[in-house]
Structure 1
């Protein structure tokens, strides 16, 4: 059974050797500056791992085949386990560029798409074993785009004809991948837990980049061809742009999720103990009314964070 991104989080200790020369930046911003975060009820107590925005509002996925969508006053389940087995955990979610089709991935080779308008599910069987898919990314419009799926064994599965045919490639040196992001029409990023980043612009050739002097585990990646960020243990954030790489330590709490809005590179990160930071030229911390871990963050038309015990926070 392959390790998944979320299983890796539970296995990693909180102790790590510090990076010399880095200072902690933990400025706290509560509800102020004209905005803050509100807790939104859900109809589940299961852990939520990932979240995305669609043309019909945010969707989130988590344990036991749970997928939620935003309703008028709360998030409510659209799956109730179906079409997924109740023991099938869902780890990754993404949406086509037109906001119409949501793709989800998880345990036992689970890969499916959901039409947010009609409510139809479409299941894809691309492996014949019980491997866990760690994350998924989709580009282009529904029915025509590119889809990437990464498993915990270092394989990337991809389709350029929206599931008509699938191919696979092997990345790296046996270290489990933990996250995937996509950009453009065929661009993709994959991160492994030791900090190796793989990048493609055409879906066929993958370049490998090593984060030098990294001495702690990393958990998530977000960005594009030339800009992006990685988060990890002990408040670590690594940001990259055309000018180089910047290292930040935002407190001492493990950071588990990151996302950027690629139109203006406004970003946010989340982690244990309800930790949430925003980035808009500088990092600002928001105090949320929870000490539960937050695993996933979406930054776009909406800004939504999800985590343990069905927890959802939205920016207002």
Structure 2
């Protein structure tokens, strides 16, 4: 008898748990369907956990002419058409050296990537051609970051390593021409470098930020003095920086640095002034802006979006895995000659996680 009573109570508790203490069965079912919908679409903020073809960590992502590309552990290169697929299993040198960063030409027709043991190469989007330029200038240390400016075949490239060095490269007659190797700072690791309209920017782990002006980097009206451009990096901050820097991004009239402890720094080139911003929790790993959109990703699967000049909101995320790379959707205004665009914001990270947000209505 006692066993039967216990079974009856158990059944009743299960019934209460399923139906809820208030409301009808239909109301409870509707609530459960709503909850399921939230879990499926990654939350009201629209981020979804895309199906990834790998469990290897992905460190960087960028939009090419035909869609996003991501690089990561073991020399992995992924591309996305209707779905994400593996393009390279073992990197540009058919080795398993991890690729740390990825960048695309202005027209998106060529994707460059760099990483461990001097790994360096590019992938031509149109024909799938791979070129390996590993260990340029006999440099075999880890490339931490890469930035590209200009169209395919005329691009200017900056590659930075863990020894605080930046190698400049210009593509001439279809072939890379290597310039000087310089140290913008004091030799600290350079985890981020980016190409902006006003030149190249770099950061190091000593809290330094540096700029190479556009006229020297070859982006506009370059003269015969460009072979000495690598010597012209100028220190522009950051005064009293209190966190480690992870990433840098530059736009028309502002520069962002992503740092530890949820801190970002915003730079106003006109006033030559840096302002610290509290974004949220976790170590910020990447920050990007496009138009009115500014987003950052961090450890623990955190996603942040700037709502106003100083206010940031944490978005609902479908993962708790740390995110390391971020690429924002391109619009038709971002590319020339009617090139294809990909209406997706993409974040990548640990364990091969790939998050997407459809921005076709942007």
TM-score tier, shorter chain, comes to 0.7 to 0.9
- Cα distance, 1:82–1:240 mapped onto 2, change above 3 Å: closer
> Which one of the candidate residues 280, 287, 306 is aligned to 2:348?
306
Runs of 4 or more above 6 Å deviation = none
3-state DSSP class of the match of 2:300?
helix
CA–CA distance in structure 2, aligned partners of residues 137 and 82 of structure 1: 18
Aligned length: 281
**Greater percentage in strand:** 1
* Greater relative CO (CA pairs within 8 A, separation 6+): 1
Match of 1:220 among 247, 268, 285: 247
Query: RMSD in angstroms over aligned alpha carbons?
Result: 1.8
Residue 198 (1) aligns with residue 207 (2): no
> What is the aligned partner in structure 1 of residue 100 from structure 2?
91
Distance 1:194 1:129, change over 3 A: closer
User: Mapping of 1:25-44 within 5 angstroms?
Assistant: 31-32=43-44, 35-44=45-54
Aligned match of 1:66: 76
User: Within the alignment, does 1:142 sit opposite 2:155 as a pair?
Assistant: no
CA contact (8 A) 1:36 1:286 kept: no
Q: TM-score, normalised by structure 2?
A: 0.73
The equivalent of 2:38 in structure 1 is none
8 A contact 1:64–1:85 mirrored in 2: no
CA distance in 2, matches of 1:130, 1:223: 28
Give the CA deviation at 1:130. 2.3
After TM superposition, list the pairs within 5 Å mapping 1:1-316 onto structure 2: 31-32=43-44, 35-72=45-82, 74-125=83-134, 126-162=136-172, 163-168=175-180, 169-184=182-197, 187-201=199-213, 202-203=216-217, 204=229, 205-224=232-251, 226-241=253-268, 242=270, 244-261=273-290, 264-281=291-308, 282-301=311-330, 302-316=344-358
Separation in structure 2 between the aligned mates of residue 259 and residue 275 of structure 1, nearest angstrom: 14
* Contact 1:103/1:114, CA 8 A, preserved across alignment: yes
Q: List runs of 5+ in structure 1 lacking aligned partners.
A: 1-29
How far did 1:265 drift?
A: 4.9
Paired residues of 1:109 and 1:127 also in contact (CA < 8 A): no
1:212 positional shift: 1.7
CA distance in 2: counterparts of 1:157 and 1:75, whole angstroms: 32
Structure ID, larger Rg: 2
CA distance in 2, matches of 1:251, 1:83: 37
